[in-house]
Amino acid sequence: MAKTMFEKIWEQHVVAEPEGQPALIYIDLHLVHEVTSPQAFEALRLTNRKVRRPDLTISTVDHNLPTDDTRNEVIKDPIARIQVDTLRKNCEETGVVLYDIDSAAQGIVHVIGPEQGYTQPGMTIVCGDSHTSTHGAFGSLAFGIGTSEVEHVLATQTLRQAKPKTMEVRFNGELKKGVTAKDMILAAIGEVGTAGWTGYVVEYTGDAIKKLDMAGRMTVCNMTIEGGARAGLIAPDDTTFDWMKGRKFVPKGDAFDTAVAEWRKFASDEDAQYDELLEIDCDSLEPHVSWGTNPGQVAKITDRVPAPDDFEDPADVSSAKHALEYMGLSGGTQIEDISIDRVFIGSCTNARIEDLRSASEIVKGRTVASTVRAQIMPGSTLTKMVAEKEGLDQIFKDAGFEWRESGCSMCLGMNPDILVPGERCASTSNRNFEGRQGKGGRTHLVSPEMAAAAAIEGHFVDVRDWETE
Amino acid sequence: MEKFTRLTSIVAPLDRANVDTDQIIPKQFLKRIERTGFGEFAFFDWRYLEDGVPNPDFILNEDRYSDASILVSGRNFGSGSSREHAPWALMEMGYKSIIATSFADIFRNNCMQNGLLPVILSESEVDTIMARALRGSGYKITVDLETQTVTDDQGLKASFEVDPFRKNSLLEGLDDVGITMSLGEAIGSFEEKRTARW
């Protein structure tokens, strides 16, 4: 029988299906960071249990790290410092590898997994972080878990999972210049809403997906969780294998060719059946900007901010009313007329080297508006080093951007990088929830290109009209 | 894990859709390394004014809901981040069950791991409970996990679905790790086969 990629990966990982219990699924790679792991390690200690497979577990520090020049000093926030030190101690005790602050491999956990070659097709990957869906770009079944489940995986290398349903999200057609992977996923979530995919694993297909580079595919899969699905998948192909080849933990030589042959088999069979299908046309897709306080509240760049009365469902009307009030916007405002105070290019959604290159094209030879503070936090220390080698840092600095260190930073503002109340930010991150980037801060989600152009102009602009050198 | 069997309590209404985990427990409070100490910060941005005084306009601050152990809210409750600090904070605030028309997946899982029962009811049932909780004070319902029902003394009789495995774990107060550890042999032989193949 024809199978979907999800079914193929699932079947290879079922350890047991005891009567009346959800399936027990084997986990190939467990990513750990400082925020959601301390209570899990502590629980193991209290129950006298060990980490079953430290060799399949890797960790890094990303959420709490400062991104300014105090980075290599002791973290000033005492509670954040304890959290980071606790991870160090836990890794030392259990033999889990830690990519610490002084390592080139340090970075946002969803950036370094693929960058170092840990993330591979056909794997099951979990992390105590909802954006674990990112790794699905390689055709691995990857999803976020809570701390109790982190404990479960540390102790047993397995997870209990009810089998989800499958949905195909097919992106037809071709992206126009200036329209990106970020716009594809924002448009899709705008269409289905933030709970539209709850209970599903999404597989992204179609010509526009096939043509995306790996960074774009990671952006799409990263935001799968914003539509409510825990995992998003893209079939591995030559784009995937070319990107992976030569990375540190990817098999080398003949072993690589053997692996590629196996990896290809994970792609869904041609006549595989999904439970649902959603189609999105990319020929007419425009750059998107979020206007509200969840990632489903988005508009095209040529559009206006909607008014609450534009919605039919009473819950949507009430959501829009709250959102507009919080965002300090009124219905009918042209998106291009929204002025911004801050720009954040960073996060596990859009801080890879490819994202930085795209943003630099927009910025090159131009100057950040005098009313805007613009910052770039590369996704990993290695990404930062590569960007500097290519001279991207100079392009950004010449334009007036702050070139900072890597980490989750202002995506969620656990470190000192936050908005002050009322500040409005064009952000390449994934969530525009109330207070996400700082209490009272107003977040607009956009692509790196759109964020860069907004930094220059001081308000949102249609990057499709942008002349590049 | 705390057992959940049957609970009769005042209902606190939070009439909003998409209440996300950033609202339930904002990021600045995620730095603790313990499972406790989150309750006082739950709904922080809505619950307190600038100077730390409770916001009189936030409904959960009203005296009539101070003894509530059941929260009723709009659809897609708990969306966003995977932080288990959200159910920890809600439980410390005194809630033992949450009723909504839908929940975000990871949040729902996290609740189940902690004995905080998420109950999905139909829109009309949730509307009924919400309206009755908003009106007057002292409105109580009973959530019974054994019979999978929600009832009040005004004629409400709703039923809900729950996975049989999760139900048993909640009723008995069992945690997953212990159950899975008993399957250690199956995990071991799976690992041997997998290592041989890869």
Cross-chain residue pair A20–B164, CB shorter than 8 Å: yes
Residue A363's contacts (CB-CB under 8 Å, 6 or more residues apart) are A395, A396, A399, A401, A452, A455, A456
Q: Is the pLDDT of residue A194 over 70?
A: yes
pLDDT of residue A386: 98
Nearest to A467 by CA among A355, A345, A364: A364
pLDDT of residue A72: 85
Cross-chain residue pair A413–B22, CB shorter than 8 Å: no
Mean pLDDT of B171-185: 92
Distance CA A266, CA A252 (A): 20
Residue ranges of E strands in A196-353: 200-205, 231-233, 276-281, 288-290, 298-300, 342-345
Residue A149: which of B33, B113, B163 has the nearest Cβ? Answer: B113
* Best residue of A11, A21, A326 to probe chain B, by most B CBs closer than 10 Å: A21
Q: Is the pLDDT of residue A449 over 90?
A: yes
Q: Which residues of B touch A199 (CB under 8 A)?
A: 105
Distance CA A410, CA A417 (A): 5
Q: Which residues of A touch B29 (CB under 8 A)?
A: none
Tokens, residue B87: 């159910």
pLDDT of residue B198: 58
Cross-chain residue pair A24–B194, CB shorter than 8 Å: no
Q: What is the pLDDT of residues B12-32, one digit of tens each?
A: 999 999 999 999 999 999 999
Would the CA dihedral through A391, A394, A399, A404 be positive or negative? positive
Partners of A445 in beta bridges:
A427
Q: Which residues of B touch A434 (CB under 8 A)?
A: 22-23, 45
Mean pLDDT of A401-411: 97
User: Which chain A residue's Cα is nearest to B83?
Assistant: A146
pLDDT of residue B1: 84
CA distance B141 to chain A (A): 24
Nearest to A143 by CA among A189, A197, A201: A201
CB-count burial class (<10 Å; 0-12, 13-18, 19+) for B196? exposed
Q: Is the pLDDT of residue B37 over 70?
A: yes
Distance CA A196, CA B31 (A): 31
pLDDT of residue B194: 87
Residue ranges of E strands in chain B: 6-14, 70-73, 97-100, 117-120, 140-144, 149-151, 157-159
Distance of CA B13 to the CA centre of its chain: 14
Q: What is the pLDDT of residues A417-433, one digit of tens each?
A: 999 999 999 999 999 99
Q: In terms of DSSP bridges, do strands A402-403 and A373-376 run parallel, antiparallel, or are they unpaired?
A: parallel
Residue B163: which of A129, A162, A414 has the nearest Cβ? Answer: A162
Q: What is the pLDDT of residues A308-344, one digit of tens each?
A: 999 999 999 999 999 999 999 999 999 999 999 999 9
Q: Which residues of A touch B34 (CB under 8 A)?
A: 38-39, 42
Exposure string over A400-418, b if 16+ CB within 10 A, otherwise e: bbebbbbbbbbbbbbbbbb
Mean pLDDT of A379-390: 98
Mean pLDDT of A439-447: 97
Q: Is the pLDDT of residue A235 over 80?
A: yes
* Best residue of A118, A129, A198 to probe chain B, by most B CBs closer than 10 Å: A198
Mean pLDDT of A95-104: 97
Q: Give Cα separations from B62 to B59, B68, B109, B138 (angstroms).
A: 6, 11, 29, 12
- Mean pLDDT of the residues in chain A: 97
Q: Give Cα separations from A47 to A51, A158, B172 (angstroms).
A: 12, 18, 19
CA distance B32 to chain A (A): 7
Cross-chain residue pair B194–A26, CB shorter than 8 Å: yes
Q: Which residues of A touch B75 (CB under 8 A)?
A: 195, 315
**Eight-state DSSP code of residue B2:** -
Q: Is the pLDDT of residue B196 over 80?
A: no
Cross-chain residue pair B106–A319, CB shorter than 8 Å: no
Cross-chain residue pair A198–B102, CB shorter than 8 Å: yes
| A141 C-beta neighbours (distance < 10 Å), count | 30
CA distance A195 to chain B (A): 6
Confidence of residue A174 (pLDDT cuts 50, 70, 90): very high
Mean pLDDT of A193-197: 96
Q: Which residues of A touch B184 (CB under 8 A)?
A: 156
Q: Which residues of B touch A79 (CB under 8 A)?
A: 31-32
pLDDT of residue B197: 62
Residue A230: which of B83, B106, B194 has the nearest Cβ? Answer: B106
- The DSSP result for A349-402, as a single string, is TS-SHHHHHHHHHHHTT----TT-EEEE--SBHHHHHHHHHTTHHHHHHHHT-E
Residue B27: which of A15, A225, A412 has the nearest Cβ? Answer: A412
Give the full edge-to-edge strand order of the sheet including A14-16. A14-16, A23-26, A158-161
Distance CA A199, CA B161 (A): 15
CB-count burial class (<10 Å; 0-12, 13-18, 19+) for A246? exposed
